[in-house]
Structure 1
Amino acid sequence: MDGTLLDTEPLWGRAMEEFAVKVGTRMTPELRDSTMGNSSVDALTKVYDAALVPESGRDFDADEAWMVERVLAMFATDLRWRPGALAALDLVSAAEIPMVLVTNTIREVTDVMLDTLGRERFVASVCGDEVEAGKPEPHIYRRAAEIVGFAPGECLAFEDSPVGAAATHAAGVPAIVIPSAVPVPPKPTYSYRESLEGLTLDDLSAVFRGK
C-alpha cells in the first residue's frame, strides 16, 4: 500500500522526522531508510534506539497514537496515487484475479486509506498489527495466501521497499518490485519494474515463466 499503490512515504517521512525531534534525536537519511516499510513497533524502536531512550521511557501505545493522528491529518489533504497504480488495480480486477491488500500499516490507518483505494477491489486486507510479526517476517504474506486458498508460490506480490520485498522472499511469494525511495537488493524471487505504468497481464504471467 504505502509507496506501492499510494505515494504516502513522503508523508510518513515527515511524521517520522517530527517524532524523532519529539524524542530528542534527528532523522538522518540513514535512519529514515532503515525505517522504510517497517511495522510501527519496529520503526518506533529504531528511533528510540537512535535517541537513546531507555526501555522505561518507551511508550509505544501513546507514541503510535501520536503517529496515527499526524499521518491521518496529512492523508486527509495530500494522499496521491503512485504512477500506474490505479490502472494496475483495474487490470487485475477486470481479470477476476483475487487481490489481498498486505501492509505493515496498522488497521486503524489502513481502513482510512481503503476509502481511497476502494475496499471493494480486495477480497481481504491484512495489516501489520494482525499477525505475529510484520514485514520483513513472512507471516503477513503467508496469511494473505491462506485467505485466497493458494500456496505462497502460486501468488504474486507487489512491493516497493527492502523490508516488504524481504517478507515476500521469506514467505516464498514471487514479487514484482518497484523501488519507491530505497534500492531493493536483488533476490532470485524478485522481478523489477520502474513503475506500474503500462503493466499487462502478460507481465504478471511472465514472472511464473521465469522471464
Structure 2
Amino acid sequence: MQTTTDLAAVLFDMDGTLVDSEKVWTIALYELADKLGGRLSDRARADMVGTNMSRSMVILHEDLGLPLDDTTGSVGWLEDRMGELFAEGLVWKPGARDLLTAVRDAGVPAALVTATRRRLVEKALTTIGRDFFTAVVCGDDIPETKPDPAPYRHAAQLLGADPAHCVAIEDSPTGLASARGAGCVVLGVPSEVDLSGIAGVTLVDSLTEVDVDYLRRLATTR
C-alpha cells in the first residue's frame, strides 16, 4: 500500500530529455522545408518541440504557407528520414543514462512517455535500452497526445501507479502541461526551450543533478 511518501514510478519523456534528439529532428525538419520549397522559421521550430508529428506538420505547413489538407506526405517523408537518422545512433543527454540505471537498480518502475510515433521509438530504444522501462507510451498509441494529460495518465495506469506519486521528467512546455494535467509531480530539464516562469514545476539544469533520493524527496514534498 502506498503512503504519501512513496515514489511509485518515474515517467520519462524521450526527445530532449533522455537523448539529444531534438537536434536530429531539426536537421530533418529543415531538410523537409527545403524539399517543400521554403525555409522553416525559428519560431515555428520552437513551437514544434514536444508536439506529435501530425501537429508539427501543421505548424510547418502554416509556416511555409502551404495547404493544411496535404500534410500526410510530409508526415511520411519525415518519419522515413527520422528513421534513418535514429538508426545512426542517438546521443545521451548528460546524466540520463545514469539516472535510468539508478531508477532501475532501486526497483522503482519507469515508463517512457513520448509524443514520437512507435515506429521511431522502437529504433530509439535500441540506443536507450528497452530494459529500463516497464511501459512505453508513444504518440500514436492513444488518441490524445501531449499537452493532453492522457499519455501520462495512461502510463501511470499501465504501471498500476497513482499519478500523484509519480515524478514525470520533461523538457518542453507541452510535456510539462501534460504531466501536470495528469496530476504528476513534475521535474523540468530545459533543453531547446526556456521553461522558466512555468508554475508548479521544479527545474534543474541537468539530470546530472538528479538521483533517486532527489526524486523521492520531490514525491514527498509536492
TM-score range normalised by the length of the shorter chain: over 0.9
Q: What letter is aligned with 1:199?
A: V
Do the aligned partners of residues 124 and 209 (structure 1) sit closer, same or farther apart at CA in structure 2, a change above 3 Å counting?
A: closer
Provide Cα deviations, 1:86-137, integer angstroms capped at 9, x if missing partner: 1000010001111011000000000011111110111110001111221111
d(CA) in 2 for partners of 1:152, 1:40: 26
> Percent identical across equivalent pairs?
34
- Residue 187 of structure 1: how far off its partner (Å): 4.0
Specify the alignment match of 2:39 in structure 1.
Answer: 26
Tell me if the contact between 1:168 and 1:175 (Cα under 8 Å) persists in the aligned partners. yes
Write the mapping of 1:26-65 to structure 2, written as runs, cut at 5 A: 26-56=39-69, 58-60=70-72, 62-65=73-76
Tell me if the contact between 1:102 and 1:141 (Cα under 8 Å) persists in the aligned partners. yes
**Is structure 2 residue 167 aligned with structure 1 residue 170?**
no
Tell me if the contact between 2:32 and 2:78 (Cα under 8 Å) persists in the aligned partners. yes
Provide Cα deviations, 1:48-73, integer angstroms capped at 9, x if missing partner: 111222244x142x322211221122
- Where does structure 1 differ by over 6 angstroms across 4 or more consecutive aligned residues? none
What is the TM-score when the length of structure 1 is the normalising length? 0.93
Tell me if the contact between 1:173 and 1:189 (Cα under 8 Å) persists in the aligned partners. no
Tell me if the contact between 1:165 and 1:184 (Cα under 8 Å) persists in the aligned partners. no
What is the TM-score when the length of structure 2 is the normalising length? 0.89
Specify the alignment match of 2:90 in structure 1.
Answer: 79
Residue 160 of structure 1 is aligned with which of 148, 152, 171?
171
d(CA) in 1 for partners of 2:99, 2:30: 32
Q: What letter is aligned with 1:85?
A: A
d(CA) in 1 for partners of 2:101, 2:80: 31
d(CA) in 2 for partners of 1:9, 1:115: 17
Q: Secondary structure at the match of 2:207?
A: coil
- Residue 83 of structure 1: how far off its partner (Å): 0.4
Q: What letter is aligned with 2:95?
A: G
Write the mapping of 1:12-161 to structure 2, written as runs, cut at 5 A: 12-56=25-69, 58-60=70-72, 62-161=73-172
Q: Which runs of 5+ in 1 are unaligned?
A: none
In proportion to residue count, which structure has more helix? 1
Query: Which of structures 1 and 2 has the larger relative contact order (alpha carbons within 8 angstroms, sep 6+)?
Result: 2
Q: Secondary structure at the match of 1:125?
A: strand
Q: Secondary structure at the match of 1:128?
A: coil
CA-based RMSD of the aligned residues comes to: 1.5
**Is structure 2 residue 176 aligned with structure 1 residue 181?**
no
